Every structure is written in structure tokens, then in C-alpha cells.
Chain A
Amino acid sequence: MSGITPPRLRLSGIARRFGATVALDGVDLTVNPGEVHALVGENGAGKSTLMRILSGALIADAGAMELDGRSYAPRSPQEARTAGIGMVNQELAIARHLSVAENIVLGAEPMRRGLLDAVEARRRAAAALNELGRPDIPLQAPAGRLSVAELQLVEIARAVALGCRIIVLDEPTSSLTRADGENLFRLVRRMRDRGTSIIYISHFLEEVQALTDRYTVLRDGVSVATGLTAGVNPGDLARLMVGRPVSDLYVRSARQPGDVVLAVRDVAGARRPVSASFDLRRGEVLGIAGLIGAGRSELLRTIFGLDAVRSGSVRLGVHAGPASPAVRWKQGAGFLSEDRKEEGLALDLSLADNLTLPRLGWRVHPRGLAIEAAGWLDRLGVRCSGPQQRVGELSGGNQQKIALARLLRNGADVLLLDEPTRGVDIGAKQNIYRLVDELAMAGKAVLMVSSYLPELLGTCDRIAVMCRGVLGPARPVSDWTEHAIMLAATGTAA
């Protein structure tokens, strides 16, 4: 090769508006061959819109795209794939009833005389898995039997089988365990070393730091910074994302724990938890750490009556014994689900309906409820057009505020929060930490499950670690480090 090699991908001045909303307002992005490029930004900064334009799902209003020096303007996802750009979305696009091999060649099935060439399909699928270093995944197994991590691998294999030169990974580790995440990193590095360019979208800035070569930050639809990842630290990136310093991200006032309001003794559920005991006091935030699958969510669900209690006792205030969710609300408990879209909120219902659902009188006054809801929206600073707006139209952070406001509106004194900051941007996270602190200071009791250790260490008073369904003792946060929590969570504690 002579002369200067053009970059693998060059986007310049990409703009796109939706009606009156400007989603992208001039984005530049350059990705080199064999590079892992981080694309970071708050929710709503325009990452998804940009990736939809890159993958042919949307067409830009302005700007130019070049792929390996040639003009690139896909009119459909199919065209983008043929040109060599593969997308692996957060929500995996897997046909669960088809086999692994069929999934890998999906949409590009090899044909012979008008019929599917199954032998060639298996060969291509095997070659792709081999290139990814995972020939052990069974080609003929129905995809539904694989784990989430393996499904993700199948999706990556699909892009590899197509010979994609650029693979976009959108929040790939959000549903993976730590070990699976490590494997994914190895895989990404392996692909990079073979010359594939990876665009890596993530909220986890430590991950970006560890894995990527260069970064581009989007803010309000504009690319505000780009450079070598080695030259910045996560704090710098966070500051670039929000456009202001985030030094006081976590908030923990000096709290005075009061009486015990939730006493859990040897509680076991159908499968998880196996055994859990703790006391939760007024005015304190108790964190529960652990790996995915350790049974943390199930513990909260069992306490709240969403899952059955097999043995053990739960005492909430003066009320002893198991109870249904309806009774738990009446007793002054509230539950925030980790799955906001499916369980936490009814996306098609209005903000007012979502807020008021747990506690309604026999007769309902729609206007009165709307006025009441408007007060809560105001108090939490929810950005919306009004209490009658559909929850599904809000951004992730604002949705989460609605889910939290529901607990407050319905008089919850004991707040069971399952991953309260999942999928929300850093600005919304800060708001949530502030709110949790205010609530604890106001004498409410908070039980918080989180997979993000800095958050637990920064906001909780005490932390207990769950491992394989068994909850360890709750100890003051000063006794813990990230390392100690990981040891306890993986069952290797000394």
C-alpha cells in the first residue's frame, strides 16, 4: 500500500431532525481500521439516532458518510449489512426457535438452485464461530437454549459471517455477568487484531477506559470531543458528557438510623433466595451487592409478595408474615422493578395513571388525579408535556423518575429499589442519588440492589453481599472496598 490509507469510516456533519426536535446537529466521527472506538454520551445525546443512520434504518438530513474512502449512503439495513456494517443491539435480534446456524446466516442464507443450501450454511456458521474462538457452541441447538452471553456471540458471528468490516456493539455488557463481560472484551480485542473496526457504545466509563483505543463524545446531538482513550480518565469523560463537573456525583449526608422497620429472618423463596436475614432501619440506605443470578431481585420480590415465601419470616413495621403486593403497598412499602419497560411501568398508560395505580379510591376523579400527578412531576423535575402524556414517550431517566415518584405518591416508607439507575444517563443518576439521600434524611428506609459497586459504596450506609442465594452480614460501608465486595460476591471471601 502506498500513500495515506483512508479511515475505515468517516462521518462528517451528520444532522437529523424529527419534526421540531433536533436529534443530531452536526456529528463528526472517524473510525480507523482495527480500532475499538468508544461512542459515549448521555441518554438522548443522539447515539442511537447516529447508529440508526449508520446502519441504514434512518436517512440523514445532512452530512456525508464515507466507507474506506468511498461514499456510503445506505437506504436500508440490508444495504448497510451488504456494505459491511453489522449492528449488535442491546435487545438481541435472535429467532429463538431457529438453530444457532440458521440464526448466524439469517437474512443471508446461502442458496443453491433456489433452495436453501444447509451444508454451506453450517459451514459458514462454523467458520464464523471458529473465527470468534468459540467452536464449542453447538450449531444445531435451538438458539433459545443458549445463555444471554452466547446469544450475543451468535449475533456477533452473524456480522462476522457477512464479512462486516465495522461492528457496532450497543451496551453489550449491560446484561452480562462480570465473567462473561471479560470474555466479550477478549473477543473484541481478537476481532480488532484481525482488522475489524468496532464501535463500542457503553455507559460504563471504566469499561471504555479498559477496552477502547479512541473515543468520541456526543452531547445534545453534537460531537464535542474525540481523542485517544489513554489520554483521559473516566472523570474527564463524564465531564465531557454532561458538560459540567460531576465531582459530587454521589450524595450521602450524615444520617441517624432510627427504629427497625423491616426485619427479615431466614427468608427463602422458591429457588432464590436460599437464606437471607437483615434489619433495615428508618433513615438508612442498605445496599445489596452480588452477581447477576445471585438472587438479589428475588429477595426484594419475595419481601414485596411478588414471589412466594417458602420459609422464614418478614416483618414490616407492625405487620408480620407474608403478604400480597396490594397489602404491602397499604403497609407502606414500595417496589421499584429493575425491568422498567416490561414490569416497572405500563408504557401505554399516562403518567398520571402510572403514578396513582397502587392506591386509588373506589371512585376515580381523572382530573383530580391529573392535578395530583402534576404536582409530583413538578417536584421531581420530570420533563414531559403533562400528566396525560404516555410514559413510553419519555426518556429513560424521566421514566425512572416516574417509577420512583410512584413510591412516594403512594406513601411508601420502606423503599425496595432494584437497580434504580439502570439505563439512565449520568445527570438522571445524580438526581436519583440526591432523591435517595433526601428520603433517607426524611426518615424513610431504603433497600437498594445494584450491580454498580461505586454507586453502592457512594450512597449506602451499610452493604450486604449476596452469593448463590445466601445473603451475607450487613456491614458499614467503611468496611467494604470494591475488591472485598467482589470476593464476597464470588464466594472466595477469606
Chain B
Amino acid sequence: MPDDRHSPRRRNWLHLIAAGGPVVGLVLVCLLFGILRFRTFVSIDNLAIVLEQTAVIGIAALGMTLVIIIGGIDLAVGSVIALGTVVVAVLLQHGWPPVAAAVGGIAASALCGAFSGLLITRLRLLPFVVTLGMMGMLRGAAKLISQEQPIYPDDTWLNLLMKIGAHGAPPIGVWLFLALAVLAAAVLRFTRFGRHVFAVGSSEQTARLCGVPVERVKLWVYVIGAASGGVAAVLQFAYLTGGDPTTASGYELNVIAAVVIGGASLSGGQGTIAGTVVGALIMSVVANGCTKLGLENAVQEIVTGAIIIAAVLLDYVRRRGI
């Protein structure tokens, strides 16, 4: 069926922006803040700060990209991060070595994902409802474990993960984010599992007909999504230098926003890691720029919300060609 996609009359500036996708958006917001606050916004130190602010949301968004590509959603990721920081802190307090504590935090998060995934695949419950329930349960569990108090264990090298280096060198956490992004992109593009993820998101029935183990793929995606929340939790722990059951509240929406700004479709089947990385950067550039402009939090929230809607709109223009 032919459609209006190629109609030349309808090409305009909107299409130019849309064709470039989220990268154009990132360049635009950087230019905007660069012009308005050249001295404070455009500096090596500030770049490092922006990247540092991106790392936690960004890593969680990598896993969320897979979850959204299969047509699912994970609302529990903010609570997973909070629980993760608490688990790491408690394990350190019990004298675990830093590596073991970090791995323990990530494993605990992955288990939470496995639980959600089992409910979704075995009992065929809706991901939205399951993860909404998990969001509350895990937040509560984090508070129980920590007795509703932040836990600050003795200083270890874990805290260095989010420390900005000399001359504004980005913290290790940022490099970890970029490395994981490359890994995730490669998995999606160059492995059978990656092809299966797109197939399940595009049409579950077709995937089943083609012999794709649909339930197993979904389960693994929820485990990966929560595990990436666990890695984000380790960085959040490093940033806070402690475990806090109330941290990362509302992060799930920022994470989902980063993925959606990056061009993924909430109906599944579409999304890219590169888009998600850029989406996460847009979110933190806007937050940082608004602070530099001295805008209050309320304005920041309005701007971020508007960007989410604009991103979806541009995506619509690109795909449908209104």
C-alpha cells in the first residue's frame, strides 16, 4: 500500500530535524545552553559533571532499551537502584570485599528481575502491573533492610568510581557506561539473542512460529534490565558514598524517558542503544543547563517533559511522514 511518505510537498524543516533523530536534538540543546551561558556551560569540568550525571540513568537505560524493544516496561528500576545501594552498603558493613559487595548488589537486582520476568512469562501478567507492584515491594524491602536510614560503610575504592579526576577527567563510571553501551549494541546487532529480542518485540506470534523461545528471551531481558539497574546502583552507591533506601525515587521515569527520546517505540520492536545513550545525554544536559541558567526545579521538569513529547512527535514525523 503506497502512502504519503514520499510526497515532496510535505518536506520541511521538521523533517530535517526528524531525519537526524536524537543527535540533532542533543546538538541543539548544547548550542542553546552554550550560547546562553558560554562561560559556565562550555568547560571541561562541566562536561565531566554532565557525563557523571548521565552514567547512572544511562546504564539503567541500556537494560531498559531491551525491555522496551520486546514491548515490555520495567517501572521497578528506581527501586532496584535504591535496593542495590543498600545491599552493597550492608555487604560492605559485613566485611565483604568491595568487588564481592558490588557483584552481590548486581546479583540481588538481577534476582528481582528474574522474579518479575517469571511472573510476566509464566503467569502472563501485564509487565506494567507486575513491575508497578515490584516498585513498591523493592522500595519497601530496601527500607526494611536499612531500617529506613542511609548506611555509610567505611571508605573503599568503590567510592572512586564516580570521582571526577584531575583536570576534569570523567570518572570511571562514565567509561563503564560507554563500555556497557558498546557491549549492549553489539549484543543487539551481532548475536542471535539480539535478533530474537527484536523479533519478539515486533511480533510475538511470528517469533513463536519461527521457533524463537519467546518466554526464555523475555525472562532474560527482564533479568538483564534489572541487572543493569544493579550496575547503576553500584555507581549510585559510589556517588552517594553510601546506601540510601530513598534514593533514585522517580528514576524509572527518567530511564524510560531516555529510551523513548532515543527513538524506541513503547509498542515494541524498535529501539537502538546509540539512541538511548544520546537520549540519556539530552536529559542530563538539559538538567545541567537549566541549573546554569538559574532556573528553578519546576522549570526543569516542564522542559524535560516537553522534550519527551517533542521526541515522540519527531519520531512520529520520521516514521509516518505527516
Contact = CB atoms under 8 A, between A and B. Distances in A.
Interface of A: 18-21, 23, 48-49, 306, 324-330, 335, 337, 339, 342-349, 353-354, 356-358, 360-366, 395, 406
Contacts of A335: 209
Interface in B233-274: 269-270
A465 B8 CA distance: 54
28 contacts: A18-B2, A18-B7, A20-B6, A21-B2, A21-B6, A48-B1, A306-B209, A326-B212, A326-B213, A328-B211, A329-B210, A337-B209, A342-B203, A342-B205, A344-B206, A345-B203, A347-B203, A349-B203, A349-B269, A353-B199, A357-B199, A357-B212, A358-B210, A362-B191, A363-B190, A364-B192, A364-B194, A395-B1
Given A353-B195, A361-B192, A325 B210 contact: yes
B4 interface: yes
A344 B210 CA distance: 9
A325 B202 contact: no
A353 B198 contact: yes
B289 to A, nearest CB: 35
B200 to A, nearest CB: 9
Contacts of A326: 211-213
Contacts of A363: 190-192
Nearest to B194: A364
A491 B251 CA distance: 63
Interface string B1-20: 11111111000000000000
B37 interface: no
B58 to A, nearest CB: 25
B124 interface: no
B290 interface: no
Among B2, B7, B198, B199, residue most surrounded by chain A Cβ atoms (within 10 Å): B2
A185 to B, nearest CB: 29
A328 to B, nearest CB: 7
A53 B212 CA distance: 42
Contact of B190 (A337, A353, A364): A364
A327 to B, nearest CB: 8
Given A19-B5, A19-B8, A343 B191 contact: no
Contacts of A347: 202-203
Contacts, number: 95
Contacts of A361: 192
Interface string B185-226: 000011110110011001101111111110000000000000
Interface in B73-117: none
**Pairs A-B, 10 closest by C-beta atoms:** A19-B6, A326-B211, A18-B2, A346-B202, A346-B203, A343-B205, A357-B210, A346-B206, A360-B192, A325-B211
B56 to A, nearest CB: 31
A364 B191 contact: yes
A49 B4 CA distance: 12
A357 B194 CA distance: 11
Contacts of B192: 360-364
Nearest to A355: B210
A49 B206 CA distance: 29
A362 B191 CA distance: 6
A134 B287 CA distance: 64
Contacts of A342: 203, 205
Given A19-B5, A19-B8, A357-B212, A346 B189 contact: no
B209 A366 contact: no
A15 B6 CA distance: 17
Interface in B264-322: 269-270
A193 B10 CA distance: 46
A324 B194 CA distance: 21
B186 to A, nearest CB: 10
Nearest to B6: A19
Contact of A23 (B2, B7, B206): B2
B265 to A, nearest CB: 9
A337 B3 CA distance: 27
B220 to A, nearest CB: 14
A349 B205 CA distance: 13
Given A324-B211, A364-B192, 15 more contacts: A48-B1, A337-B205, A342-B205, A343-B205, A344-B206, A345-B203, A346-B199, A346-B207, A348-B202, A349-B202, A349-B269, A358-B211, A364-B191, A364-B195, A406-B210
A416 B202 CA distance: 23
Given A326-B213, A343-B209, A365-B190, A348 B4 contact: no
A402 to B, nearest CB: 11
Nearest to B188: A364
Among B4, B202, B207, B208, residue most surrounded by chain A Cβ atoms (within 10 Å): B202
Contact of B209 (A325, A348, A356): A325
A48 B2 CA distance: 11
A86 to B, nearest CB: 22
A344 B195 contact: no
A345 B206 CA distance: 6
A343 B211 contact: no
Given A363-B192, A364-B194, A364-B195, A357 B5 contact: no
B203 A18 contact: no
Contact of A325 (B189, B190, B198, B208): B208
Contacts of B198: 349, 353
Interface string B165-201: 0000000000000000000000001111011001100
Contacts of B195: 353, 356-357, 360, 364
B2 A19 contact: yes
A23 B7 CA distance: 13
A403 to B, nearest CB: 10
Among B8, B194, B206, residue most surrounded by chain A Cβ atoms (within 10 Å): B206
Contacts of A49: 2
Given A325-B211, A357-B195, A366-B190, A343 B206 contact: yes
